[in-house]
Structure formats: structure tokens, C-alpha cells
Structure 1
């Protein structure tokens, strides 16, 4: 295996840091070869590695590099119970699957050898599980015991109750956390939601009049507390949401009966009463606050320290990787990584040269996504920019918006072009099929599925020639952000509100740009469509000091 120049220059430094049990934070652009670098330095230090990724889509790059360069190493991957179960639909919560009475509640008695990409292998394993009556989920769990490389998603590392399920001695592994900028919001994965729709579904599932009465009462209370706004509004009094012990027991009995019936029937669908119960359990935790968000109630942790604390275990060896790694002070102060030894490496600064593809910047001076100025006239201007850029692009165009609301407002003024608009249910597979034969405008939202951690490539090259950042994606300054900023500021004894907002927006913009830079040979055009980008701070942070300024 021939290493790239930057990998050769920095290998020994990282290897020595890992051997001394430093936490290594590696900032390297997309397409620079972070995954193969992690495999290379990891195997120099320990015999086993764990890759922790945000989504199942990110399993494939690890599989690809391992099979290409370390084909003698055994691979295992851990996937959610609802994805691996023989009898579930995709929207089932793992807790709703009653494994103990399932006839397939056992793993394989022989070693799994993963030769296909994880998604293909899983489909084959499920087919084999149906015919031989074994559980793919527990078979995959068993396979971690003999694998040199394990791939898992964030919850299996950061959530203590899932981490304990694995029965892994993590001290024997180099633990590589990919897309590590996402750990800032790790607790959001464990959010619990309550909506009128989920309550209606739970009422239709309930068998007893008592359970239906309780759920109707809860629905009436919820209706009074929710708002349609796409921002977190604190619900200060949640006393009416709390049920009596007897009412909880009635719902638990209903939930248990439905779980058992589903597994016996061999067809497991979403158990909405379980969804309601998990929300009710969560609001008993004093660390949780309840917010209204887009016609739902959301129970959220304010501080992620209970999830992040594993990174502060001095007995474990971590390597954090991202093309948009937050600054070292942000990792320490805001995310809460406070172990004694941290080494932060910005690859391009360390080797004093670019290590991936390049891009040219344009900044528009006549549009802004500032909330108070999001008029129909402004939306039409944005649509005009999108059309003009699209017609002049060589490949697909990705446009990233601050919110669904603004994206929808602009898209109403688009016509006569093929465009794909992200929804909460959009899958990467759907996008790949849609863009296969026709040049397309791909519209997503900041911090969404399409703007982060997604590869749209062919033969190793990006399929995107132009990236449009349609407004600065500042996180909404809502009650959640204010409460979180206040809590962290009190701990640090200084105001971090501005830093929290700016760094999150910067990471989102860099992630968006990264969709077009997937290899060292990629070249892209980046359109920063907001006059607020025309500041020294933004131009410096985005490496756009020589950006050309444009108007319609």
C-alpha cells in the first residue's frame, strides 16, 4: 500500500500519540484518505480497531478500504435490532421487539465471514436466517468476538446501556470516531417525541377502554402544548403530562400484550404505545427538558456529558476524524473532552499544502437568508440564482438551505428543471436512482441527510460540480439553544453563545462544500449566496479570501 505524502509525513506522529494513549483529533478534508490512514496507524498500535460512524451508509467506506488493503483482517459490523430482525418493518423501535419468545432467538453456531458490502451481506444473512431459523442480529453481535475491525453506529459507543450489551473490552481497541463533529449533538439521537399523530396511532392500537381513555386524555393535554413552529419552544409546566402509577401500568400491560402478539405472528410493526411510554419515562429525568417543535413535544437532554464521558476514560485510545473538526477549545469547553492528553492535528496546516480537491468561491451581495428578510421577493431571487447556476453547471448541483421552510419557499419558484427535494424520509438510494440519467438540482437542508457524510460518486470522482449554500445555516436561536448555551456558560464562567452558534454554522457550510470534494482530483464551484459571507471571518474560515463577488 502506497501512502499519500501527508499520510507518510504524519504517520509516525500519530502512531506515537496513540501508543501514549493520547486522544488524537484529526482534521483532514473530505477525499484526503482519512479512513485508510486510520487503518494504517491503528494496526501499527493494536491488533483490533473499532470504527464508530453516524449512519449505516458510512459502513461501506470502511469495508471498501479494509478489503482493498487488509483483506486478511476479519470484519464485523453491528446494526440496529430493527434493521436486522427477520420480522420487522423499518420504522420499528428496537425496544418493541420481544426477542425472548422468538423461535429464532439464537445466533449462528459458526463464524461469519463478511465478503460482501455490509448492506448486501445483511440482506443475504436475513434470507439465510429465515430459511435456517436463526437471528441475524445476535449472529452479528457474536461476530465481534473474533473480528479485527468492528463497525458500529454512535449509539453503541456513546449510550451506556447499548455499550454494555456488546460485552467488549474497549481497551483492546483503537477506537476511531468518524465525522466526529457530530458528537456535539450526540444526545439528540436519544430524543423522545410525542405528537397527536403518534397518540392517534396508539389509541387505534389500544385494546382496552381504560388505555384508550388515558391516551385520549394525554392527547388533549399535548394539543394544548404544541406549536407548529420549526423551533424549540420550552414547555415550562409538564405536570399534566405525568400519569399516575396505575395509568402507567395499564399502558405497560397493553404494550406487553401487543409485543407478544406481534412476535408470535411473525410480523412486527411500530408499537405506538411503546413510543408513548418511552416519552413518559424520559420526562421523569431531571436532566431532560420538554420542548414543542413542529407540532410535536420533544424530550431532550441539555448537556451531553453523560454520553461524552467515555471519551475522557484515560484507559481507552481514541482517534477522532472529521473534515470539519471543531477547534480544540470547542472540543474541550463546549463538547466536554477534558482528558489530560489531547493532540489536535490540522493536516493541511501540518504539511503546509492542500491534500484533497479544490474549489473556487463566489459570494452574492444581493441576497440573504436572514429570517426577517425571507420575503417572497427574496425567495424569487434565490430561485433565479439556482436556475442560473444549474443551467451553467457541468454536473449535478447541490443546494443546501438553513431550513425546510426556506427550501420549500424557494422551490415554489423553480420550473423546467429536474430537482430533488430532501424530506425527513429521503434515502440516499432514492437520490442515486433519481440522478442516474439526468442532471439534477439536489436540494437539502443543513445538518440533514444529504448535506453531511454522503458520497455521490462514480469511479472515485464526485458527481457534484457545484455547491450552493443558500443562506448561512445558523442554528435557530430558540429556547433549547439558549438554555444549552446558558448551562455551558455557567460551567465555564464565560458566555459561549456566539461561539456555539458560529461554529455550528461553519461546520454545516464546510460539510456542504465537502459533498463536491470526494477525491484529490475533484474541482468544484462554491456559491455562497448570502451577503453576510462577505466578511473576513467567513472568508478566512472557508479559505475563500479571493472569492469573486456577484449580483444578479
Structure 2
């Protein structure tokens, strides 16, 4: 298969052709692929062309298989009957699937022509924004009973006293409590219950569109996800370069925050408030519906949005423009566009969080999932499913729930009061548990940190008699959090109005009336308590008088398993995926080894454009070991300063230097500023202007701008001190003159004093032993955590085919085979172990001297 076959827009390099072929085979065989391709090697285009070629081929293969199956089924029939049967079935199939496709394509073509025509006359395109408001978008009447009745919960009965549709069912002899069942049985019951809930509690929105959705062709599709909105936009720009752009049906998914076009809602700062206000404006009782969201009788507007969205490959900003031009909500419009789309781009959260996938109507069944920037996938899954609640939030939630219950107690029906009281009891128990844990730590002078299994935590709270699965279901179905937040908003507005009408009246200064959706956090924690006991831990801790309870996910494999099982193929791709062993151990332990395919390619740069040196000794011969025991030694810090000062004499333009942490970078900087160090900062600043990575995120852009300006206009260049895993270790391109050298000071091992890390390592060891694995799995995990951070940092330098740079790894441990094997292949191949610092200087000087002569 040649490059032309893949529709690559340029003449590809050999590694790009290899990448596309390997990717095509992985998708064709339904495997899991782990692909490593350094930044600057055209990874995005290779991913696109390889996967889209496979997607287009599948349509042709599917049609051929269908025809062959029909002929085989009619093998014993006369020829004239065979021909008639095949022709008749082909026509029937066309009338069902192909005809719908044809109709959709005709609508898309018309939308294209309208855009082309209207854009010739820009005023006509803008005029489309002023769509006439329908009567149904106006006020929908008054609240039923009182000003706050809309926040009253509907009647609720627990799942063993009512059917899925809410009707009473015959009482059962079974006890409501299932707490005596085993964890595995409870997990199975929970899954079945969740499936029933999702089936039975469809929203009116789903009901309204059900018939219409059934008429849609659900295309075979690729779900492409990346970490940030900007990375997805960049990916869409790559799609637009390919030969597939004109015929590809693509849509991008994002949050309401990015897609909302209602000006009043956009003004809200909180993402949660935007979501709540959007849902509120869909209620008839809210007084006014959002004019951007079509009513049942205006479904044509959503279809128009779908047609225009598919008319060309667009990024999120362009989809927002389409929504504004049609006065149609892009958030719900993009959801309507998922089924007929062949390529769906979406951020990590939308794909990796099961509840979010279900709410968006995403079906992964037999489709393809490609996860870009997948080096941090495991950490992302852990982060998404880790919940932290602070003691102040618990007390606020308790106050809010108590106020709500007091206000509506006489009007709540069914088992609402029972469940709200249970939730209040759980919150009180958590507060009491936190107070006793921290107090015990103070009086016994022990660590103010406690780690428990889920079952231990539930037992210590004294809530093991409650059925957490039923409480989880109640919170989902009753939408208590949303009702509570609406009630609090109303209370806050009422207090403000009272104060305005009566200046002498002191409005109730109630800290519980907060814009923070606290009950949602409580709900997330309670749902986490229904997870398998072995998959997570509860941490109760106090840091700087800030008390909190945290659920920490230990097993990301279980959360990712549903994606692997539903899809035809999953592809993880990144610039630096090493160490790959972590993915096999912690993400795919249940997958057959022959189903996992690993691919790692070299860089497109000539080998002479990259120099990687290990530096184990300083100018005076002192060994460099930046472990916790030695790194604060002033002699080692001074030796490090001399190394960097000497290197700045021979390295041109920009130097990026990474330290293990902010505190260590500050410690080193302060030492170098003293005369006792030999005025190291003065020596460095004579050659390079010094910049430091700021702690404040809003200062990063300004620092980078000043750093780049100094290199462009200054004679000697600049040096930037950064932190591993900081704001500049990922996503920042130090290409060309911005990064002629990357210096890594030590190995950034995580702090083993962290109880969370200790518990994770303990879990990894236990899991490995249960699987019968050999070796020290805990040590492997700990090293991999460190080296993944190193690889991300040193990958900042070489960013395109003509770039060149040197990488200097300061620590004698970089000379070990074990550590070097965890470097990316393209870096590992260029490693040179320097025996002394003289070799470091001579090789660095000659490297840049050769580049100046070229």
C-alpha cells in the first residue's frame, strides 16, 4: 500500500508510511495499538490518513460482503431467480440505508451551496442570526403552587416498591438492605440496576428525538480525543489538509462553556452554573425557554444545524459560528450530529467518564477510539475518578440539606424524606470522622493522615447498614443536587432583593448559600463508595489546617475496560509513550498479549542533529547523585551551577533547564545568588539572561514571551529554569533557537512521604503478586513514574525535521541500562556516556561548532 493509497497530502517520510501501514493493520485486525512517534514527525497526519483510509475501505468491504452473502444464500436457486433476488434485496437495502444516506448528502450539499451563496453577501449570512422567536420560546406560564415549587422533588419510591415507570409493584419478601451480599454480587446488582435506570429514566429530550434518531444512519466512526481544546483544534486543521476533507462528515463535541451561544448564560463564570442555567432554561416552569434551543415543533432547526455542521470539516469555533448564524444551540446541535458523523473529536473527559458518554448519547459499539497525547492517559483516568471533599464543604452541604428539608418537609412525597435524612446522616458521620481522625493525630503526635479501604471507611462512619446502591440511584433519578442548587440560588436572590427593598434589613449572611455545587461533590463521593473495595482507597488528611476526605482510584483498568470491550479497536498515540510497560500492566492486564501491538518509530531528523550526553561527574570530579539524601548538599548544588555556567559558554541561543520541583529550584537559585557559591548566577547571567518558570499560571505566557524576545534580540541568548511536571514541561515547543539545549538536573522521583503514592505502590505490588508476576513491580512503577516525566521534559527540544539540539542528563544513574531503557527509542539511540566533564564540554562545543559551519 503506497502513500497515494493513504491520501497523504505530502510526500511522506518512510517512518510515516510505516506508521500508517501499522495503524491500518491494527484497525483491520481489531487490536489495541500503542504508537510512539516523536513530535515533528507528522503524527497527527499519519493517524488521520491511516485510520480514515481504513474507514473508507470498510464501507466498500461491507457492501461486497453483503452481496456475496446474498449470492451464497441463493446458491440452489435458478439463475434468473438469483439475479432477481439479489437485485430486489439491493433495492430494498438502498431504500432503507443508502436512501437515507443519499437524502442526508443532498441536504448537506444544499447547506454547502447556501453557505457559499450567503457568504458572498456577508450581511445575508449575519441576518440568519435573527431568527424569529416562536411562541413556544416565550414565557410558558406561572409556577404551579408557589414561587419555589419548581425546586420541590417529585414523588420517589425505592426500587423495590415501584416499577421502572414509577408505578407501585407488589411488595417483596426480600429485605431492602443488600449489605450482607458479597462485593461481587453487589457490583453485579449495581450494574444491572444502572442499566435499568438508564433505560427507564429517559428524559423528555430523548423521547422527543427517539423516532427521529431511529431514522438516522449510525455510521461506522472514529472517536478522536486529546487533552486540550487547542490540541483538538490543531487536529481539525490537519484534517482539513487531507484528501478526505471534502467528503468526510466530522463533528466536534465540547462543553456548554465552549459551545453555548446564549449571551446571558455565557456571562456566568462557573462551568457548573452554566450547566445548571442551561437545564433551567429548558423547563416550562422557568418562565422563559432558551430561544437558541429548538422546541419539539422546531426540530428542523436542529436538522439544519446538523446539515451545516457536516457540510465541511469544522473546529469548535466554526461550529459556534454556525450555531449563531442559525440561532440554534451548538451544544445540542453537535449531539444531534454524532450518528451520521464519521469522525467525532472530543476532549478526554467526554470519552473517559462513563456518565458523560451516556449523557451525550455516545455509542462506542464496534467503533474506533484514538487517544492522542496518551502518555498521561493513566494519570488522567485516575484524576477524573478521584474525588476530594474538604471539611468546610461538608459543613456547608449539611447546612444546605437541612435548610432544604426544613423548607419542603411538609410537601415532600414518597421516600424523599427518608433518603434526604440518610444523606444528612452520612454527611454528619463524615464530619465526625474527620474531627476525630485529625484530633487523634494532634494528641498522639502522629501523622494527620489515615488511609482505609472502602468497606473500612463505611464501617467507621457507621453507615454500613445503608444501601449505598439505592442512595446512588436516588441521587441520579431525583436530581436532588440540581433542585438544591436551584433552591439556594432562589434564596440568595431573595435575600439580595430584600436588602435592596429594605436597606435597614440585614440580609441573612449564610455561608451555606454558595455558588459552589457542593452536593455534587458529595454525590460523586457516595457513588465512589459503590466501587469494588480493592479498586480504591479513602484518605482522610489535614494539610495546613485544611481537612479533607479523598477517594483515590487505584485501578484505572476497570474504568477503561468498558471502552476496550465496546470498541473494535483502541489506539493510544503520543510523542513519548515510554515506558510502555505501564500501559500493559495497569491499563490492559486482562487483554491477551497478542492483541496488543506496539509501534515506535525514530525521528525524521538526521542522527547528527541530536546529541544526548549523560553527565555523571562535575568539573572537580564530584559524583552527581540528586537523590533525596544528597541533593541539598551545597557542594553538589555549587557543582551543578559550575556545570551550567560552563555549558552556557559554548551553547548558543536558548537553554531550558529542568529541576525536580519548585522548592528545589528555589533552593538552588537562592544558593547560587550567594557569594559562597562563587557568584554562580552572575557567571551565568553574563552569558545568558536568566528566566524562571512562575508558579502563577497567568504569568507563564508573559515569561515565555520575554524569554523568546531575549533570544531574538539579545546577543548571548537566555536560560529558562523550569520544573518537571510543571507548566512548561508539556505542551510548550522550545523549537529552534528557543531550545538548543535541554538540561535535566537529576531524576525527578516522586516524594515517597506521600501516603497516596505509598498506597499506590503497595497496591501495584499486591496486584502483581496476585498475577504471579516476577520482579519488583513497586520499584518498576516508581521508576516509570519518574521516567515518563523525564521523557516529556526532554522532548521539548527537537520539534521538526531541521531542528537540532543537545540533551544533557545530569546524574550518574542515567548511565545505568535500566534507566536508559526507559528513554524513548529515538533518544536512547543517541545517548553517549561521558566519562568525565571534559568530554561533556568538548563534545558540546564541537556539536555546535559543526552546526555553525553547515
Output the TM-score relative to the length of structure 1: 0.80
The 1:118–1:546 alpha-carbon spacing in structure 2 relative to 1, beyond 3 Å, is same
Which string of whole-angstrom CA distances, capped at 9 and with x for unpartnered residues, describes residues 299-356 of structure 1? 111111222214542751222212322466543333225145222222239x9x9799
Higher mean Cα deviation, 86-95 or 204-213?
204-213
Structure-1 separation of matches of 2:448 and 2:39: 32
Q: What residue is the counterpart of 2:728 in the other structure?
A: 450
Matched, 1:500 2:781: yes
1:321 counterpart residue number: 573
Is the 8 Å Cα contact of residues 191 and 300 (structure 1) preserved in structure 2? yes
**Does the alignment pair 1:299 with 2:567?**
no
Partner of 1:371: 628
Q: Mean Cα displacement is larger for which, 508-517 or 171-180?
A: 171-180
Question: Partner residue of 1:438?
Answer: 710
Is structure 2 residue 222 aligned with structure 1 residue 49?
A: yes
Structure 1 counterpart of 2:691, from 419, 427, 440: 419
8 A contact 1:195–1:222 mirrored in 2: no
User: Who is 1:410 aligned against?
Assistant: 668
The alignment partner of 2:807 has SS state of: strand
Structure 1's 18 and 278: CA in aligned 2 closer, same or farther, altered over 3 A?
closer
Contact 1:158–1:310 at 8 Å: present in 2 too?
Answer: no
Q: Which has the higher mean CA deviation after the structures are superposed, 433-442 or 505-514? A: 433-442
- State whether structure 2 residue 59 is matched by structure 1 residue 59: no
Cα distance, 1:225–1:540 mapped onto 2, change above 3 Å = same
Deviation, structure 1 residue 535: 2.0
Aligned equivalent of 1:467: 742
Give the secondary-structure state (helix, strand or coil) at the position aligned to 2:338. helix
Q: Which structure ranks higher in relative contact order (CA pairs < 8 Å, sequence separation ≥ 6)?
A: 1
* Ranges in structure 2 where 5+ consecutive residues have no aligned partner: 1-8, 57-220, 282-288, 295-300, 407-423, 442-446, 494-513, 618-622, 674-680, 712-717, 842-854
Residue 546 of structure 1: aligned partner? 832
Cα displacement string for residues 86-111 of structure 1 (whole angstroms, at most 9, x for unaligned residues): 44766645896354322337376223
The answer as to 2:438 corresponding to 1:160 is no
Q: Tell me, which stretches of 5 or more residues in structure 1 are unaligned?
A: none
Could you tell me which residue of structure 2 aligns to residue 279 of structure 1? 525
Q: How far apart are the structure 2 equivalents of 1:428 and 1:4?
A: 35
Shift of 1:466: 2.3
Q: Show the counterpart of 1:288.
A: 536
Residues in 1 aligned to 2:710 and 2:515: alpha-carbon distance in whole angstroms: 36
Task: Using the TM superposition, give the Cα deviation of residue 505 of structure 1 relative to its aligned residue in structure 2, in angstroms.
Answer: 2.0
Is 2:770 aligned against 1:491? yes
TM-fit CA distance, 1:408: 3.9
Question: Structure 2 vs 1, CA of residues 184 and 215 (structure 1 numbering), >3 Å: closer, same or farther?
Answer: closer
Distance 1:449 1:200 in 2: 34
The higher radius of gyration belongs to: 2
Are 1:473 and 1:508, in contact at CA under 8 Å, matched by a contact in 2?
Answer: yes
Report deviation, 1:187. 2.3
In the alignment, the residues of structure 1 paired with residue 650 and residue 401 of structure 2 have an alpha-carbon distance, to the nearest angstrom, of: 56
Evaluate the alpha carbon distance shift between residue 57 and residue 370 of structure 1 in structure 2; reply closer, same or farther with a 3 A threshold. Answer: farther
Equivalent-residue separation in structure 2 for 1:314 and 1:537 (angstroms): 36
- Judge conservation of contact 2:389–2:549 (CA < 8 Å) in 1: yes
Cross-structure match for 2:599: 345
- Equivalent of 2:560 in 299, 308, 316: 308
Alpha-carbon contact 1:466-1:527 (below 8 Å) kept: yes
From the two aligned structures, give the one with the greater strand fraction.
1
Match of 1:529 among 810, 819, 826: 810
Aligned with residue 399 of structure 1, among 642, 654, 657: 657
CA shift, 1:509, in A, is: 1.3
CA distance in 1, matches of 2:53, 2:394: 53
> Does the alignment pair 1:3 with 2:12?
yes
Give the match's secondary structure for 1:489: helix
Q: Secondary structure at the match of 2:832?
A: coil
Shift of 1:238: 4.0
- CA distance in 2 between counterparts of 1:499 and 1:45 reads 37
C-alpha RMSD of matched pairs (Å): 4.6
More helix by share: 2
Between 52-61 and 434-443, the greater mean CA deviation after superposition = 434-443
The equivalent residue for 1:39 is 48
Distance 1:116 1:405, change over 3 A: farther
The TM-score with structure 2 as length reference comes to 0.54
Q: Cα gap change, 1:273/1:158 in structure 2, threshold over 3 Å: closer, same or farther?
A: closer
Distance 1:511 1:91, change over 3 A: farther
* Conserved 8 A contact 1:234-1:479: no
- Would the alpha carbon gap of residues 94 and 550 (structure 1) be closer, same or farther in structure 2, given more than 3 Å must change? farther
Contact 1:232–1:479 under 8 Å retained in 2: no
Q: CA contact under 8 A between 2:401 and 2:484: conserved in structure 1?
A: no
Output the CA distance in 2 between the equivalents of 1:20 and 1:449: 39
C-alpha distance in 1 between matches for 2:487 and 2:625: 54
Could you tell me how far 1:171 is from its partner in structure 2?
4.6
Please name the residue that 1:482 is paired with. Answer: 761
- Which SS does the other structure have where 1:21 is aligned? coil
Deviation at 1:421, TM superposition (A): 2.4
2:786 partner SS: helix
Aligned residues: 539
* Equivalent position of 1:190 in the other structure: 385
In structure 2, C-alpha distance between the alignment counterparts of 1:277 and 1:447, rounded to whole Å: 31
Query: In the alignment, is the contact (CA less than 8 A) between 2:576 and 2:795 conserved in 1?
Result: no
CA distance in 1, matches of 2:488, 2:266: 12
- Tell me how far 1:501 sits from its aligned partner: 1.8
- Look up the SS of the partner of 1:373 in the other structure: coil
Distance 2:401 2:719 in 1: 44
Contact (CA 8 Å) 2:364, 2:566: kept in 1 or not? no
Relative to structure 1, the CA distance from residue 436 to residue 118 in structure 2 (aligned partners, 3 Å threshold; closer, same or farther) is farther
Task: Give the secondary-structure state (helix, strand or coil) at the position aligned to 1:52.
Answer: strand
Aligned twin of 1:100? 279
Alignment of 1:170-181 (within 5 A): 170-171=364-365, 173-181=367-375
